[in-house]
Structure 1
Amino acid sequence: MADHEDDAAIVRKVENFVRDVVIPYETDDRRDDHGPLDALVQEMRAKAREAGVLTPHIRADGTHISHRATARVLRASGLSPLGPLACNTNAPDEGNMFLLGKVATAEQKCRYLDPMVAGNGRSCFLMTEPAAEGGTGSDPSMMQTVARLEDGEWVVNGRKAFATGFAGASFAILMAKTERDDGAAAATMFLVPLPHPALVQERLIGTIDSSMPGGHAVVKVEDLRLPPDAVLGAPHEGFAYAQVRLAPARLTHCMRWLGAATRANEIATDYAVKRQAFGKPLIDHEGVGFMLADNLIDLKQCQLMIDWCADVLDSGEKAITESSMAKVAVSETLFRVADRCVQVMGGTGVSHDTIVEQVFREIRAFRIYDGPTEVHKWSLAKKIKREALAKS
């Protein structure tokens, strides 16, 4: 947690820590196909705690630094795929911290939020469901997991998919369909301590990305019984709380991956300056030099888009539209940056000799996670139509 030092100083400390301490861990073999093992994460977090850069976006008194300052901090932590894990700015924990800080009770914050801010445990967010069963993905209204009140307890049944970090998490935020007193369909969020016998991991999904401890699980929820105080916030307000979480969470994804793409571009540039081909450095060949020039332009455009959306959030607006625009623009643009980095480096770019190939894979997944590009564009198009019709 950061104290009340200058925001720019926090950014410098985080960047220096990631470059000097975290990057050497990129060759550490304590990882599986899904991501770093918890032993590696905790070792890095101990060093981050000692350096004063653990959970740097939250001050010691529990208040958050601004979204604009958070953009700089998370970009710095993202300079290594391990940086967000080391500094405790990673997804889904960062988004879950934000949501708990907004809607959790004092008792819930003490039990769930405080240990996570201190870096002592991970969390997961259970909303997405298996597509083969018609469950919710980008459309929460399709949710099949149901919670019903029975004898003063909530009883939850269903199945969740792409439960990032479920294996090894200390608690879950679980979203389920509920029914209001008037019979209207709604959703409620619950806090569930883990491990729990009613939540069973059926399998881990093999995916293109490999930066998430615990991977992405399919989880069966069977006769999960929860007391009333397990409800996060108020009953039946799950859809509203999802927007509270997802709008800034989309932007913080952009922030972290801007850092990763910046680092990939640094590696590709260094390669192009030192690698000789046809009698001169690669960068002196127009085809290569122009790709790196395009990267420089794209990285700056992403930074400006992130700053703009962060300023909207800092103004107190919900920024749902702005975060959708930023998610589309930044994920698509950074993918082009990562792709050019691979191309500049040729065979080395697709090897494990650098993190460039991993950044390429991770950002490709980012174009889908937290809402695919096409869903965000569809939502924006609906807004455009509504506003046009309102003016006619």
Structure 2
Amino acid sequence: MGALTARDRHVLLAGGGHAHAVALRRLAKKPLAPGVSLTLVAPSTQNLYSGALPGVIAGHWTADSIGVPLEPLCAAAGVSFVQDSITSIDAGANTVQLASGNTLSFDLASLDVGSGIRPLEFAGSKNGLVPIRPISPFLLKWQDAIKSIRGSDTPPSIVVIGAGLAGIEVALAIKFRLTQVGVPDAKVHLVDAGNEIASGNSLALRRKLYRALDRANIALWLNARVRSVDAGIVSLSTGETLEAALAVNCAGSAPHDWIGESALSTVQGRVEVDPCLRSTSHTNIWAAGDTSYFKASPLEPAGVFAVRAGPVIAENIQRWSQDQPLTHFNPQSDYLKLVSLGEQKAIAEKFGITLEGGWVWKLKKWIDFSFLRQHSLPARD
């Protein structure tokens, strides 16, 4: 291939997720050669680190402490920052449409826009159900619920829908926080349509999680679907009704609609990518994390894979800018799962081996905040 043309080539980094945060940190240490400009588009000036969210819910630390400031990262890497949301992508024309009405063109685009929460369709689901993501709106609702419960304006009862690892962590964190603020008799209900918690995880991990839920006195409702949410009452398919000062949707991740509505090849709404993280239908569009479907070896939605993709994105932007062959993303076959238990304890699991205790919680805290420290650069004057 020939050398760069006189016209600058433009790289669009769509989204400020974990993968792009890591990529920006790498690019700050190894800037691109002249002739390539980069722009990051994200709806917020900081990326809230989801792995540390249960600690915020439980009151161990504040929301401000788990944010990665994106503007200093962009400044260090020589990347322009645009605070806006992408509403559509025209893969043929190499453009994205923004919520502001503006259009951005690109020569190369990398998508790391994360995911939302799978919507549940039932009466009252839009107004009565609060998704765990986006994180900031959820945390505001959670603080309102705490105040309402402490003021006796609403019954001390919370319903969490979805008994995957995220839902379990959220339920345990909520129970711990309510106990700490003087509502030890608060009731937390965990509801799931399946017949098992944390399905897809090892039996050893599930057993420990069952015991943790039992110790916390969390009411578990399996084989139960939510039929409606109305005036703080959650009705289940089993016939029971549950009071809810807050009903939280943790029913699994869902990709953004605009990706599935594009011309990109997708699987379950996620961009299908090759080993280099390139779209299988449009090779100048890349995707990582929850935004992507890794065709060579499908991956579950987990932050660890987004973090591991970051160095590959940075390296491949470097290679692309020099017209060199791209490197491959090689995700691990298994990874260390660290599940917080509300209180200052956690469970570690890998290869079916589990360990539990306060020291695991300290390990998880160290890992989470090491990531945050590494990617939280001071703002420039």
Structure that is richer in helix per residue: 1
What is the TM-score with the length of structure 1 in the denominator? 0.26
Higher relative contact order (CA 8 A, sep 6+): 2
Structure that is richer in strand per residue: 2
What is the TM-score with the length of structure 2 in the denominator? 0.27
